[in-house]
Amino acid sequence: MTKEERVKKILLNPKGFKLREEYPEEVKVAVKSFLEATKMVMTENLETIPHEYLTNMLEVLVKYPETQPIAWELVQILKKDGVI
């Protein structure tokens, strides 16, 4: 199973997805919004996700020490893929 197939399986699971309870509420809201937008892109066969969802999520993730490594990893992935 490819990475894309795994992500699609998780996002389209009728049970939904869970975020870690220990994360700040602002982080949970930003990540959930991004994942819901990603799900919408997949289910509606849209070309792209509006960049505001990613920007907002990254801005929130870098605010908190416990989620900064996640933000930096995402930035590295985006650089590697030529997105930024």
Per residue of the chain (84 residues), give pLDDT as tens. 887 788 778 777 777 777 888 999 999 999 999 999 988 888 888 888 899 999 999 999 999 999 999 999 999 988 998 888
Q: What is the pLDDT of residue 33?
A: 94
Q: What is the pLDDT of residue 61?
A: 97
Question: CA-CA distances (angstroms) from residue 33 to 1, 79, 80, 81, 82?
Answer: 26, 22, 24, 22, 23
pTM exceeds 0.85 for this model = no
∠ at Cα 78 (66, 3), nearest 5°?
85
